[in-house]
Amino acid sequence: QVQLVESGGGLVQTGGSLRLSCTASGRTFSNYAMGWFRQAPGKEREFVAVIRWRGAITTYTDSARGRFTISRDNAKNTVYLQMNSLKPEDTAVYYCAAKRSGATISRVAREYDYWGQGTQVTVSS
């Protein structure tokens, strides 16, 4: 069993930055793929970024590429999402997710096995 806890959300102005953190407890996730998803009111959950358990292989949704960076510190059981040049359309609840089959990466939410509670990110214009 894995519990994921996000932190780092908040209110920022357009063009600002935030760094989200997700820390796992109950089990290490060194062999998991770790992803970030987001969901705005009235919209479906959207893939943001994912990092494979080994090799620093990452992928991003088009709107995040070049602005967001996903990274992980397996020794600390923590994954990060550095968000720069934030826009109002980035406003959403951001969720950390873990996928047990960490050798492959996925953009599909239902393929992930564990989820955090979400942290609110609000970008004002």
Q: What is the pLDDT of residues 45-86, one digit of tens each?
A: 999 999 987 767 899 999 999 999 999 888 888 999 999 999
Q: What is the pLDDT of residue 8?
A: 97
* Proportion of the chain in helix, strand, coil states, percent, rounded to 5: 5, 50, 45
d(CA 49, CA 81) in angstroms, rounded, equals 8
What is the DSSP code string of 89-105? GG-EEEEEEEES-TTS-
- Please count the residues of the chain: 125
Rounded to an integer, the average pLDDT of 77-97 is 97
Tokens 């989200």 belong to residue = 20
Q: What is the pLDDT of residue 26?
A: 74
d(CA 120, CA 101) in angstroms, rounded, equals 28
d(CA 46, CA 96) in angstroms, rounded, equals 12
Phi, psi of 101 (to 5 degrees): -80, 75
